[in-house]
């Protein structure tokens, strides 16, 4: 079973609340939709999902707790993730300022966006700390192996988060498609998407 009846309703409620709260993953997904279109943004979201599952696996195996004992490692991973986000955003902004016209669905390949999604999520240590702080609250040792419960609960949370990312992508795509696809507006969308990534990276770098 996923969780005991005593824990199931609070778990589902908390998961739903966290899933719909605007966060880095939702903003990252929206920015990818603005700059690369819906199909490629969905590939980036799939990368986020795989990165999230790696964090879930690490939490289930107890590996993520290392961040609590080695704060220097947490800081190093956080800074690396921040630099990567800022680098991605700057590249998008530079592309939006290029003299040659660029269509919104051009640019990076879907596999590259998938890999970027994985890297962005893996290099966010706050995701690891979230899982090791959130999941154990709903574990009942009487229900079976703790590691298996953590894995199943984390999988469910990650799926919920991914569904929220997909909704954000579809909504952003609807908004983008309603705009007149002029070169100026296309460049503005790419500039906005890149700015979001730079902002996310800066926030990650200065946050505690």
Per-residue pLDDT band for 43 (boundaries 50, 70, 90) equals very high
Per-residue pLDDT band for 86 (boundaries 50, 70, 90) equals very high
Assess whether pLDDT exceeds 90 at residue 177.
Answer: no
Angle, helices 38-60 vs 125-134, to 10°: value is: 50
Residue-wise pLDDT for 87-143, tens only, equals 988 987 887 665 444 444 456 889 999 999 999 999 988 898 899 889 888 888 788
Residue-wise pLDDT for 155-173, tens only, equals 999 999 999 999 999 999 9
Assess whether pLDDT exceeds 90 at residue 52.
Answer: yes
What is the share, in percent, of the chain residues with pLDDT greater than 70? 88
pLDDT at position 104 is 45
Per-residue pLDDT band for 70 (boundaries 50, 70, 90) equals confident
The mean pLDDT value of the chain amounts to 84
């Amino acid at each position: 079973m996923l969780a005991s009846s005593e824990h199931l309703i609070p778990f589902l409620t908390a998961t739903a609340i966290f899933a719909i709260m605007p966060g880095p993953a939702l903003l990252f997904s929206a920015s990818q939709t603005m700059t690369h279109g819906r199909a490629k943004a969905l590939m980036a979201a799939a990368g986020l999902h795989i990165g999230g599952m790696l964090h879930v696996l690490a939490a289930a195996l107890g590996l993520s707790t290392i961040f609590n004992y080695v704060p220097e490692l947490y800081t190093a991973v956080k800074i690396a993730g921040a630099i990567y986000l800022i680098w991605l955003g700057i590249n998008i902004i530079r592309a939006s300022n290029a003299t040659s016209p660029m269509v919104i669905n051009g640019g990076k390949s879907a596999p590259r966006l998938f890999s970027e999604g994985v890297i962005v999520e893996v290099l966010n240590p706050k995701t690891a700390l979230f899982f090791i702080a959130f999941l154990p609250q709903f574990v009942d040792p009487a229900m079976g192996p703790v590691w298996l419960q953590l894995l199943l609960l984390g999988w469910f949370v990650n799926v919920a988060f991914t569904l929220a990312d997909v909704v954000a992508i579809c909504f952003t795509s609807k908004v983008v498609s309603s705009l007149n696809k002029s070169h100026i507006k296309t460049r503005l969308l790419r500039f906005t998407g890149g700015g979001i990534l730079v902002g996310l990276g800066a926030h990650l770098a200065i946050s505690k």
